[in-house]
Structure 1
Amino acid sequence: MTRAMPLSEFPKLPPALSLEVVEGLSAAIDTVAERAAPTHRFLRYGWFAAALAAYGGHARTILALRENEPVAALPLIATGPEWLRLASVPGCYWPFRSFPIREDAGAECTELLLDRLGREVNALRIGPVYDGDPGLEMLRAAAAARGWTVIDRTIAQSFLLDMGALRAEGTWPRSSTLRRNRNHEKHLGEMGALDWRFVSGPAWNEAVFDDLAAIEEKSWIAERTDGSDAKFTREGHGAFWRAAAADPVLAQMMAAAVLTIGGEPAAFSLDVNAGDLKYAVANSYDPQFGKHSPGKLLYYRNLVQALDHGIRRVDWGAGDSGYKRVVGAQGGPMIRDWLFVRPGPPGMAAKLARGLWRRSGNDVAD
């Protein structure tokens, strides 16, 4: 007599994988982002929609699904001449450009994405993005297995501040730093009443963004550059951040610290909080108050408050390593731009042009 085989003894079938291509941005981007690594949960529908609203472009979204649940979402916009069939991941450069992928996604999901991508475009640009980015690394592995040409160019080194570790050691912030800060605050207070504001969630409004823009318009950015890199002015990237704040989840992640002196906007710091990590996106100050370091005073207050609210690490991004090291930051992952080029003639051309792409980056030691 044969014995009935219990279900536990039946061989397990691999989960069913499928693909979906959506014209425009897919609402499933949020479903994926909610289960991505905490550091990447800002990569939401509203983040990509803000980029399209600010910078233009028409998106398509490739979704990888497992048992009909989306596990990876790759938004694309056309880049360059149409005949080249190039695409890039839309978004803002701050903190980086990447795409959401669930923490439990396997390599087979990005392999599926890449196979479909090869039918859509000749090449994909991802970045600037940090070394170790989950989506990037899984896509690189899939590309290596499928004969794609992958080329990187170096942009910069990031800087990280581990406030939690420094506080545990009892070395941050230093007592001497706090004494100097109190002295500066005393002198600033003689110039007008000091008001320290912290803005997040529903507190975002046009008046707040106008204050940030007013500070930038008086800062070194306006004096030394054409202003196109300003984060909050109409001529800069203000349209992106205003659009991003329309998503309540993103608005809660976006955190600004603002100092006014005698009712006049004097300094700001803008961050994106993701889990226990704070991305320091931008900070600036009005140089008329510069003698007493309003920007430094503000970001120390901002970081101490963040530490008290569960933020342990600060990602300072790239650039101006001097003041970041003074605060206690150390060198972090490299930031790079990546080209993924499909096999065949496009890949052969990419290999020939590899040197041009790499030389267009920056000479930064790894």
Structure 2
Amino acid sequence: MNETVLIGTIGVERLEIVSSADRLAAVEAAWTSLWQRTDGLIFQSHGWISAWWSTVADRSKRALKIGLVWNDDRLVAVVPLATCRRKGLRFLEWAANSYSDYGDILVAPECSQSALEHVWARIWSEGGFDVAFINRLLPDAAAHRIFAPGVSNGIKLRRNHREEVSYRVAGEWASGAEWLATHPKKTRQNYRRGLKMLEEAGEVTFRLLPPDEPLEPVLERLSELKRRWLAQHSRESDLFQEGEPILAALVDVLARAGVLRIFVIECNGAMVAVSINIVQHDVMMAFVTTYDPEFSRASPGVGLIVEYIQWSIDNGLRMVDFLCGGYAFKSRFATEGVTLQSVLGARTLLGSLVSLADRLRQNIKSRRASGSEQQDSSSEDSA
């Protein structure tokens, strides 16, 4: 059931909680207009959220909780949330959270702070979840306006210890070659050695796929390679499951928005490394990168990363953002890192118990870490 609630502020602002696929589809034009006006990231676009909702495999365990603020007939804010049941606990989190590296809300300048707080309070009061966990918040995220601890009266959110780091490559280089030259000799030698090993196996090509190249075979190859990598490392991901439509749906959103960039390294015409990237705000965002394990000695994945970083610099982009995920190559090439924060709030007794247990575990972990540091310090002093 969708509900529209009038609130009295300057002008007429209406609150709405979207909970059905039909209503989600109906607000596409207004949402897209707001996304364009506010220059939002693709992760907050209507296309991204609706592609996730229409293809998510376990939709029976989920529910939409998308808050909207209308000023007359003009949409002025979107708070894209959803609930999910995991391990017997109901979470309130970002819609499409599993596939969105940055979470945020969309807010037009004319939207009042009161309306934002009211729509968040409305979502909270409707319930349907035990714990609200809002993560991957950039320091300048608009979402801090409502999710910062102490902002919304009666809703107790606190900073959570779970943080992630987004590593980036940014600096003043005249060319990609100049950027590569700033790295240690060993790094440059390893990169060139990898390319030479590939060249010994056949003709090597690095290229950016043109917009008119069919995506299906590329995505099939990428998913096949990613599944093999995941199996080797005892990991799983719904995004790359054979027969699942989510990856194709999300990539289609990127293509339609004009922000898709797919880079490949080919050896004798076969793709040995593939990277699906996003370009927005003069930033190259690396969404998915994978490689053929049979060529692992040549490190084609790292080679592809070096190539698209150089391409980005040569084409005037101001930054390469590796997004989330703790892979070693990110810190190796990055020049800076940004910490993404999270907040947590318990709404039910079960949620409070889980939150308390989480805090106790973290306190114990912190004390142990502090004790180890003190022992190390004592050992150094004795030495």
Fold in common (TM above 0.5) = yes
Note the alpha carbon deviations across 1:78-107, whole angstroms, 9 max, x for none: 4339x9886433204344363441352442
Task: Tell me whether 1:34 sits opposite 2:36 in the alignment.
Answer: yes
In the alignment, the residues of structure 2 paired with residue 186 and residue 170 of structure 1 have an alpha-carbon distance, to the nearest angstrom, of: 18
CA RMSD of aligned residues (A): 3.6
Q: Find the counterpart in structure 2 of residue 253 from structure 1.
A: 259
Does structure 2 conserve the Cα–Cα contact (< 8 Å) formed by 1:149 and 1:351? no
What are the within-5 Å matches in structure 2 for residues 1-366 of structure 1?
14-22=10-18, 23-24=20-21, 25=24, 26-27=27-28, 28-38=30-40, 40-52=41-53, 53-55=55-57, 56=59, 57-80=62-85, 87-96=92-101, 98-102=103-107, 104=109, 105-121=111-127, 123=129, 125-132=132-139, 134-141=141-148, 144-165=151-172, 172-174=179-181, 176=185, 181-199=191-209, 201-203=211-213, 205-219=215-229, 221-226=230-235, 228-229=236-237, 231-234=239-242, 239-247=245-253, 252-320=258-326, 322-336=328-342, 338-341=343-346, 346=348, 350-358=351-359
Note the alpha carbon deviations across 1:118-167, whole angstroms, 9 max, x for none: 34225563543124252430122486341201144343431332334455
**Structure 1, unpaired ranges of 5+:** 1-12
Structure 1 residues 145, 115: closer, same or farther in 2, change over 3 A?
Answer: closer
Does structure 1 conserve the Cα–Cα contact (< 8 Å) formed by 2:145 and 2:151? no
Partner amino acid for 1:68? D
- How far residue 191 of structure 1 moved from its aligned partner, in angstroms, is 0.1
Structure 1 residues 92, 331: closer, same or farther in 2, change over 3 A?
Answer: same
In the alignment, the residues of structure 1 paired with residue 328 and residue 304 of structure 2 have an alpha-carbon distance, to the nearest angstrom, of: 18
Note the alpha carbon deviations across 1:309-355, whole angstroms, 9 max, x for none: 3322222234445422321343311343x43456xxx4x76555433
Structure 1 residues 201, 121: closer, same or farther in 2, change over 3 A?
Answer: farther
**Structure 2, unpaired ranges of 5+:** 1-8, 370-383
Does structure 1 conserve the Cα–Cα contact (< 8 Å) formed by 2:226 and 2:290? yes
Does structure 2 conserve the Cα–Cα contact (< 8 Å) formed by 1:158 and 1:315? no
Q: Find the counterpart in structure 1 of residue 5 from structure 2.
A: none
* Normalised TM-score (structure 2): 0.75
Q: Find the counterpart in structure 1 of residue 380 from structure 2.
A: none
Q: Which has the higher contact order (CA 8 A, sep 6+)?
A: 1
Identity rate of aligned residues, in percent?
20
Residue aligned with 1:246, SS? helix
In the alignment, the residues of structure 1 paired with residue 314 and residue 164 of structure 2 have an alpha-carbon distance, to the nearest angstrom, of: 28
* Normalised TM-score (structure 1): 0.78
Does structure 2 conserve the Cα–Cα contact (< 8 Å) formed by 1:181 and 1:297? yes
Larger mean Cα displacement after TM superposition, 198-207 or 42-51: 198-207
In the alignment, the residues of structure 2 paired with residue 322 and residue 163 of structure 1 have an alpha-carbon distance, to the nearest angstrom, of: 18
